Structures are given as structure tokens and as C-alpha cells.
Structure 1
Amino acid sequence: MSSTSVRSRWESQRSFDELGRPLRDITFCVVDLETTGGSAAAGSMITEIGAVKVRGGEVLGEFQTLVNPQAHIPAFIAVLTGITDSMVATAPPIESALPAFLEFAAGCVLVAHNAPFDIGFLQHFNAQQGRAWPAFEVLDTARLARRVITRDDAPNCKLSSLAQLFGATTTPNHRALADARATVDVLHGLMERLGGLGVHTLEELQTFSSRVTTAQRKKRHLAEALPHAPGVYLFRDDRARVLYVGTSKDLRTRVRSYFTASETRTRMGEMVGIASEVQGIECATPLEASVRELRLIAEHKPRYNRRSRFPEKVHFLKLTREPWPRLSLVKQVLDDDADYLGPFSSKKVAERSLAALHETFPIRQCNDRLPKVPSKTACVLAEMARCLSPCDGSTGPEAYAALVVQLRESLLRNPDEVVASINERMERLVEDERFEEAAVHRDRLAGFLRAAARTQRLAALTRCPEVVAARRNDGGLWEVHVVRFGRLAAAGLIPPGADAHAWVEGLRASAETVRPGHGPTPAATAEESEQVLRWLESEGIRLIDVEGEWTCPLAGAGRHLALHDAVQRSRETLVPFDERRELTVVHQPAR
């Protein structure tokens, strides 16, 4: 077959996939109800159903029936609709009227003005009668009008205002059939206006937003080749450069949302305008998709991704191994037998943690490598009693080593000494009403505790040569993951009817070989290991096998975090002073 004929056949097929269902081919059933009140759940009843069936601008049929509510119609409702108790006395009950309407509307797209009200009533009584609701697609002309009509066009999007705007042949009068006829004219008026904006299919009409450009909507075909499956998607430009990486449980549905009303972020609209291709990578499980997303973002550093682009830009606190150890801020973990705290994504937070430790443990802060027998002059910190001053011989090796042991214990296992020291300092500052200084120490302590808890959790997992775990997903299949030294090495779903033990052994045999390293995140980024940890700690997890010891210290930093996290949440909910609302002045009557 020639390339020309292949292209022609593909373009012919694409026209159906891209464009969706042309509006001229859709049969709409425009429905309106009159009721005794505003809530079916609260006891309101339907008193009239009116509907008009149209296709391609032609009326195919009409449906109208009064409905006996088997209850008194309130006077104000009777005044509004003109429907009285005597008019509905011989009308069929909803048990008869509703099945007749559903038969009339079968196979149509339902249309209503303020559809949640009308369709909600119909669904309520349908459920009450013990029937399954038909799989109707629904279009709300009120919602659509709010996306299309400006205040210059009409004062509001009420049916009466829109009927006047579009020159409806029927004036709405709170009778079901008349209002349905008026809604037909409003629907056609909206469709005509949107036709000029390139909206020609039902899918485009349902998802139209004025904030989504015509060019953006026209690229919907980029999603059509993607499967309805979990995975990762990559937007690429015409030079195959990756613009954006994302993940979803349903690739096609998620990517299509970038071309519809659900995607209104300005930068995403800009990205879609540049994109010429979307690549999908199907994944066995959502966790695999999340991990792949992180790895692809780190590899390609797409300009439209805001997070996870530079996992290498992290900081660690290092407790050095030398005759007179010290704490140092570093950017990578070395195989030097030192102890590390981190990683920190922010240098500022790392410096806060460093300050918290220096406040508690007066080890040296100079950067020089001191010999076993130093002979230097004491620094200002020593004069302030903030350093034991090994450089001038004020402290011997044994006393200094004992302090380093306490520091290492706080870093790796039990931070109680740091917590007690800084809490005591904060209490003194609060007593002196030096609240801003106390807040500085609070933030230092919180930064240290979060880093210590993170390090302890990550190190516990990354020490394990292998962890194999499973969890049943929503579809009833077992998701299985193989984790080696904190890195996701394999993922899969056990097929129905398969020998689970043999299948898991096969997955382990085919898993990625991961070599151990040094530091809290030797084989993966911290973000990947944390994704894996969240999955392992979620409900329903079954551990199949653990090689090594996966434990966290009972006296670890995590037990101190609840209070600090609560304080942080409280601070985030406060309204800044420059954003306070003006107080309403209440005038009290003179006494």
C-alpha cells in the first residue's frame, strides 16, 4: 500500500475520531418540569412534564402531561404556574407519567435550563420506583449560556432573558411545554453563536469554555490514540522536545481535558498551543505511573512542569568523620562513612536545621580540618560559650567525642535533647515577650524535626535490599510492587486465575537490578522513595517478603511532629493583615 493511500485512510478515520458527533446528527430532548416546590428529597412533587424532541433544527415530536402530585398544590405555586388542584385531579400519577416520558426521550441527549433541578427530580422519582436511570447525556443551557453570554448581551442567564435575546417564538410562562419550546430556541441560538467559534460537535458543546481557545479545542485529536488506562503522558513540540509530563489513571480522558473547559490554566493553554504530539506510556499500576512521571520530569526537565525538575538540587547536613567532627552543609552524599541528615529541597530550611543543632550542641563551626592536637586561637563563638573550642585545647578528645555521640543520636534516632533545649530557649523568650525571636527558634526546631523524621523513614526503607508488597485495586486485581533499596524495581497486576506465587516470583526475577549505595537515598530520588513509602503505608497493603530490617526508631523525630504540623496548619489559615475584610458597622438604636 502506498504512503498516500495510508495517509488518506488515516485522515478519513481521524475525521470521525477528532470531530466527535456533529450537532446536526444529535437528537435532543428538551425537557421542563413544574413542581410543588424546590426539592424532591424534601417532599416536593412534579405537577407537569413538557418536552420537545428536535434534530438538525427540526421538531420531531412533543410530549406534555399534567401529573397528579397526590398532595395539595401550595397557593403561591398555583399563582406562579396556573396549575391548580382541580386541574391535576384526573391527571396520571408520576408512576405512570415518568415511564411515558422516558420512553419518549429514549436515545436522546437530555437538555434542560438549570438541568440539575429538572433532571434531579426525574432521577429521584425514577429511583423511588425502583428503576435504573437510563444512561442519558445531559446538556444544561443555563450553564452553557454562562460561558457564552456577556452582560452586554443580557442582564442574566434566566430563561426569560435568553428567550428575549434569541427572539424565541414562545414566551416562557412557567408551563412545562411552553418553557421547553422556549428552551429549544435558546439552545439553537447558543449553538449558532458557538458555531462561529468552531464548535460543531456535541463533545465540543459540552466542554466549551471561553477561556479555551479555538486552536486549543482543535487539538483534541492528539488524545485519540491514547488508551483508557493508567500511565504517563508527554506533550512534545514539533521538534520532539518534551514540554510537559503528567500522570493519570485514564490517559485518554485526562489528556482530552487539556482541550476542554476543564483546563483553564493560562500556562497550560500556552503549552497546548505549542504541542504537536502527545506520547502515552501505559503503566500497570498508578504507583508505577507516579514514579515514571518523576523520572521523566527529572530526565527531560520540561519547561511547563513546575515541580520535581531538579531532584539533584538538594542539600544535606553532614556530620563529618575526622578527629574533631563538625556539621557541614553539602550537596551530595559521599561514601565516606559520615552521617547525613536530609535531603533538604531548600537551602534555607537546611540552614535552619543546622542552627537548631548548633544551639543544642556546642561543637565547632569552623571549616578547617583540625589535627589531633590543634594549636589555634579560640574564636568568638568560644568566647560566647557556643563552642567547646577544641582548637585551643580547652576541650579534650574524650569530652568532645561524647558530645558528638549525643549529636549523632539526635540526628539518627532520638531528637529529645534538641527538642528540650530549644523549647527551654523559647519559653525564656516568651517570658520576656520576645515573640519574634521565639518564632525563629520554633521554625528552626520544626525544620530539624521534619528533616530528621524524613531521613529516618527513608533510611529505614533504603536499607532493605528488597520489599515485595501487594494491594487489591478497585477492580479486584492485586497490584504487586518490588522495591529494592527504596527504588521501584518492578510493578504489575496478577492476572485473574494465575498462580499468584509463581507470578510474583516471575516479577521478582524480571525486576530491575538495583545496587546499594550510601546515604538515606542511594538508589532513587527522595521524592520517588517517599512515593513508594506512601503506598507501602496505605491501607490494605500485604507484605509478601521483606529482605533486611525495615524499622524506624520508636523514639524518632516523627512523634514530635504532630504539634508542629498543627501549628503550621493554624498559621496557614490566618488571614494576613493586609487582606482583612472591612468590619461592618452596626448602628445600634439610641437608648
Structure 2
Amino acid sequence: MKSEQEDSLGLAFQPSFDEISPSLYETTFVVVDLETTGGSHNSEAIIEIGAVKVRAGEIIGEFQTLVNPESPIPPFITVLTGITDAMASTAPKIGEALFSFLEFVGPVSESVLVAHNAPFDIGFLKAAWSKLEIAWPAYQVLDTAKIARYVITRDEAPNCKLSTLSTFFGATTNPDHRALSDARATVDVFHGILDRLGGHGVQTLEDLRSFSNRVTSAQRRKRYLAEGLPNSPGVYVFRDDQGSALYIGTTRNLRNRVRSYFTAAETRKRIHDMISIAVSLDVIQTATIIEAEVRELRLITEKQPRFNRRSKFQAKSLWIKLTREAFPRLVAIRGAKGLDDDSGWAGPFNGRDEAARAIEALYEVTQLRQCKPRITLTSIKSASPCALFDMKRCGAPCIGQESIDSYSSHVKAIHQSLHLDARPALSSLNQRMVELAEQERFEEAAEARNRLGALIRGSARAQRIRSLTRVKELIAARAISTNTWEIVIVRHGKFAASAIAKSSNYKEVVESLRLTAEVVFDNGEVLPASHHEEVEALLRYLDQEGIRIIEIDGIWALPTFGSAAARSEIEKVRAKVDANTYKEDFANSVDRFAQRSTS
């Protein structure tokens, strides 16, 4: 293992509370069990939900409801569970039952789901939830059956069925194929498992998750690569026997992150494959996490490590632009080299489809030509207009029907929408979407919504990138403790330097850092000094709460009525809806599902 010390500050790194896994004593677990009409998530239905909420070994709540499956319950299920059609007919339907259950469970950040043979129960819950067209909350899930296989030998218990383990651990409730009874029995089994795991040093939720997975032989053999690493932020590079980079990553804590690759917490197959051929590890310590993130991006772009997936092809990212010709048109291009502010551009976009939607959105609000051939005096003599001219969606400059001066008004409107004021275009697109919805042309309305979203996202990203790359120098500070600050210098959207400073000497550190920071020149390009991912990483850093701008050479601002402002407002509304009208949204989704089911 080779260590490259990039900063001599010698300050220890203290992880945030978010990075510390909660202890099992502090964690709220919700043990859930279902009764269903059969074994298939897709074709069968839930008929009962039972759950028990526990914390610190104590039961703090219970939940039980029958569910109306809206179909006959098979006789063998009635015999097994005792649940009849008559009992279920007056029960709430799945939408109402699921909403009540998730209210009982609580937020993702506060509760962990536990089930015996979790893929069955959680699979049914996810399938039912997806039919309501709502994203399933990303709860952490533990499987008592899976964990039990690692802590109980066959000599102690012949199998890991719930009935067998309930007897083994002396559960106070016998499982009887009713959801709440089985959930209570699972609680006793879960607590019995936790008692055993305490002897294995399992004290936190992360310990428990790690223990429930297997460690490969390659992970055991290569653990020496994680020895002697510092607790500082930085970049790590796994290398093969030829010294080529296999995988590059970044972290706030090199020691903890690299160690995790050699534990059962790492379950990705490609990472297992990478570890099996890795023979060495290099680390680069950095003063700040943002410096580590930037160095990672640059190294991935330069080294093209075979096991990294993201950030390898930034130079091939998709953008849209107006062409430079007498009658410009919109095109999608790969790479930012061909962009310039005079012509108008937006992006990057997440794929060719997203870029195409943004272009289609702009075509809807202007009469910009959509044909590809270059228009010349010669071509005008032999050209014929397309259907768009008859539909009054194009002025037909291809046949000389529209002059350069007249056509330039469309170009200016596009440029204005992309760079300065998006209101006219967004208002027109939104109105079109509303009209389609009122006409009950819902699929077309959804497509219009997608085009509008693509345009907002792409032009908002462009405006944010442009805002920072135009700033000659920006020096920011963020408090990391009572009297300690991290200082970051950004020049033309490129990371130039960072350091840690005490409150008593931060001015001296800033001046010293400025003198040693990377010199960055503005070459007139849209991205004068870096790739877009570096600029956006810096923007995310600068957007953090607590960031202070110490000095700035230039104007860092966004257009008041640009797409970035529109996107911000949309996100605020979405957050408000998520927080305050979740129940209403849920009810609407249930209604839509019910209407579709009966149609």
C-alpha cells in the first residue's frame, strides 16, 4: 500500500453523525408479517397485515388489519388461516390498508423493516404499492430467516422455519398463520438472534446488515490492503498486477470506506470481481471531501478504470445547441467543445431521448425549422415545403418564404428561453399540457409533461454551469467545528485548492492558498477549464447550508426568470406536496387505480 500525502495539515477527520451507524439499542424495528391468497406477488393478493414495532427490546406498538382482496379467498387459504370471504369483505381495500400500515411504520429515516423470509412479505408489499403508481419507500430490510442461518447450527435446529425457531427461542406467541401472531413470534425470534449476535461483536445496524451476508474468499485474502489507512478524506485507487487502475473511489474516511470492501456489507458482484484481481491500493489524502470528489472525477476521466461506471465518458455527454448558419436549427451533440453562448445551448442531458424531448419542446413553442439540409440560394430554387408549413408550424425558409431577418426572431426566442427568460416557453408548454389533459388525451399530456421536464432540467443545468464558469475566482469557507474551517478556491468553475484553517489564522491561510492555487485561464469556451461533472460537484458543495463566500472576483448569479429558477420552484412545490398532502396524493392514486381496475 502506497500513501500520497497531499496536505500537511495533520488534522484528524471527525465523521458526521450521519456517517455513524445507529446502535441496535437505539434503532426502531418494525416486524411485519402478511397473509396472502397465494405465493405469487403478481397474481395473488394480501388478505392480512400484522406488525409489531420494537425499540430497545420493548414493544412500543402493534398494527393489524384484514384486507379485502376483491376476489374469492381460496378454500385451502381459509383452512390455513381461518380468514373467510365474509371476514375480508368488510375490510379496507389494499390502498387504504397500505397507507395505514406505512403511517404505523413511520419515516424511512426512523424505522427498519424486519420479516421472516423477507423477500416474500416485502415483495408482496412492493408489488401492491407499485400497482398504486407510487414509489415504494426505501426502507432498510432485515430477514430473520437469513440471519438465523448464520447463528444457529443444524444440530440446534433442523431448519429455519418460523415455527421451528419460535420453539428454539421459547417464543411467548406460537405462530398460527395469522399475521399479528406470526409477527409477535418473529419479534421473539429476532430478539433471540440479537442476543446471540452480541457475542460476535454486532452492536450497530451496519454490523447486523454486514453479518447477514457472506464474505468471499478473495475479500478475506485481500484484507491486508486496508491496513494502516488514515481516517481522513481522500481518494483510493485499486490496481492490478500491471499497475493499471481497476477502481477509483472517494470518501470522507479512507480507513472505514476501504475496510468496507472486505466485509459482507459489500455485495456488488463487479466489486467482488475487482477485488479478486486487485493486488495493490494507492490512496491520496486530501484536506477536504470536495477536493477528494474532484480528484476522483479527474482520475476516472484520465485513467478509465474498468470497474467504474460513472464519470468515464464526460467528454461524450449530450448537449443541444443552435447551429451557426443563416437559418439555424437545433441539434444534439456529444461533448461541450462545440458550444458557445452566442448561439445558445443547454445541457448536459441524461441520454439521447432526454435531449430529443427538449428539442421537441422548443419546436412546439417556435416556428424554428426542423429540416436538416443547409439552406442556400441554390437549394431554395429546387426545394418544396414540408407538412409543417401547411400546419403553420414553420415559415418555410427552405423555399424563401421567410427571410433571414424574420427567421432570426425565432432564433432569438430560443436563445432567450435557454439563457435568460424561460417564462414564455414554459407557459406555452404548460398550457398545451393542460389542454391535452382537459381533452382527456392523457398519454399525449404525459408526453408533453416529459418534454417540458426535459427542457427545464437541461436548460437549468446549463444556467447553473454557466453561472460558475464565468466567475474568475471564488473563495468559500465552511465551518467543520467550533473554530475550524475548510477553505476552497474555485476559478472559472474549476477546483483550484483547499485547506483547513483555524478561526485565528484563516486570513493567512486564505492568502497562502491563493498564491499556491492552480492558475486557471478563461479560454472563451463554455467549460474553460474542467468537465461539467466537476462544475456541478462544486455547485452542490457551494449550495450546502453553512457555506460562506469570503471573496469573489466576478458576478455569480442566475437569471431571475430562467429555467434554474423554475426548476427550484417546482422542487419546492414537490417537497411541500410530499410533506403536507401525501395522504391526498395517495388517495388520488388509489382512485385512479380503482377506476382503471373497473374499466
Match 2:540 to one of 516, 534, 544: 534
8 Å CA contact 1:223–1:256 kept in 2: the answer is yes
8 Å CA contact 2:148–2:160 kept in 1: the answer is no
Aligned equivalents of 1:234 and 1:513: distance in 2? 26
Residue 394, structure 1, aligned to residue 401, structure 2: yes
Aligned equivalents of 1:348 and 1:540: distance in 2? 37
8 Å CA contact 1:315–1:342 kept in 2: the answer is yes
Amino acid at match of 1:345: N
8 Å CA contact 1:231–1:250 kept in 2: the answer is yes
Unaligned runs of 5+ in 1: 1-37, 45-140, 164-181, 192-203, 582-591
Residue 214, structure 1, aligned to residue 217, structure 2: yes
SS in 2 for 1:439: helix
8 Å CA contact 1:142–1:158 kept in 2: the answer is no
The residue aligned with 1:431 is 438
Residue 310, structure 1, aligned to residue 317, structure 2: no
Match 1:452 to one of 441, 454, 459: 459
Higher RCO (C-alpha under 8 Å, 6+ residues apart):
2
Match 1:370 to one of 367, 375, 400: 375
RMSD across aligned positions (CA) = 4.0
Amino acid at match of 1:334: G
Higher Cα radius of gyration: 1
The residue aligned with 2:447 is 440
How far is the alpha carbon of 1:378 from its aligned partner? 3.5
Q: 1:417-466, CA deviations, whole angstroms, 9 ceiling, x for partnerless residues?
A: 21122222223322322111111111011100111111111101101111
The residue aligned with 1:245 is 248
8 Å CA contact 1:324–1:372 kept in 2: the answer is no
Residue 544, structure 1, aligned to residue 550, structure 2: yes
The residue aligned with 2:413 is 406
Residue 334, structure 1, aligned to residue 338, structure 2: yes
How far is the alpha carbon of 1:322 from its aligned partner? 2.7
Match 1:343 to one of 342, 348, 351: 348
Q: 1:23-42, CA deviations, whole angstroms, 9 ceiling, x for partnerless residues?
A: xxxxxxxxxxxxxxx98898
- What TM-score do the two structures reach when normalised by structure 2? 0.61
Match 2:489 to one of 477, 482, 500: 482
The residue aligned with 1:587 is none
Aligned equivalents of 2:374 and 2:209: distance in 1? 69
**1:261-280 maps to which residues of 2 (within 5 A)?**
261-280=264-283
**1:49-60 maps to which residues of 2 (within 5 A)?**
none
Aligned equivalents of 1:456 and 1:221: distance in 2? 47
The residue aligned with 2:506 is 500
How far is the alpha carbon of 1:320 from its aligned partner? 2.6
Match 1:513 to one of 504, 514, 519: 519
8 Å CA contact 1:335–1:518 kept in 2: the answer is no
Aligned equivalents of 2:452 and 2:538: distance in 1? 27
How far is the alpha carbon of 1:535 from its aligned partner? 1.2
**1:276-287 maps to which residues of 2 (within 5 A)?**
276-287=279-290
Amino acid at match of 1:316: W
Aligned identity (percent) is 41
How far is the alpha carbon of 1:551 from its aligned partner? 0.8
- Relative distance call for 1:483 and 1:372 in structure 2 (3 A) is farther
- Relative distance call for 1:563 and 1:379 in structure 2 (3 A) is farther
How far is the alpha carbon of 1:502 from its aligned partner? 2.4
How far is the alpha carbon of 1:330 from its aligned partner? 1.8
Residue range with higher mean Cα deviation, 559-568 or 398-407: 559-568
Equivalenced residues, count:
415
Q: 1:20-59, CA deviations, whole angstroms, 9 ceiling, x for partnerless residues?
A: xxxxxxxxxxxxxxxxxx9889899xxxxxxxxxxxxxxx
Aligned equivalents of 1:479 and 1:494: distance in 2? 6
8 Å CA contact 1:207–1:262 kept in 2: the answer is yes
- Relative distance call for 1:39 and 1:257 in structure 2 (3 A) is closer
The residue aligned with 2:565 is 559
Q: 1:506-531, CA deviations, whole angstroms, 9 ceiling, x for partnerless residues?
A: 11111112221345433212111111
Amino acid at match of 1:304: F
8 Å CA contact 1:376–1:391 kept in 2: the answer is no
Unaligned runs of 5+ in 2: 1-53, 61-143, 171-191, 201-206, 595-599
Aligned equivalents of 1:146 and 1:560: distance in 2? 53
Aligned equivalents of 1:573 and 1:519: distance in 2? 47
8 Å CA contact 1:462–1:521 kept in 2: the answer is yes
- Relative distance call for 1:187 and 1:481 in structure 2 (3 A) is closer
8 Å CA contact 1:458–1:529 kept in 2: the answer is yes
How far is the alpha carbon of 1:318 from its aligned partner? 1.2
Residue range with higher mean Cα deviation, 381-390 or 408-417: 381-390
How far is the alpha carbon of 1:382 from its aligned partner? 1.9
Amino acid at match of 2:437: V
Residue 147, structure 1, aligned to residue 153, structure 2: no
Aligned equivalents of 2:483 and 2:458: distance in 1? 37
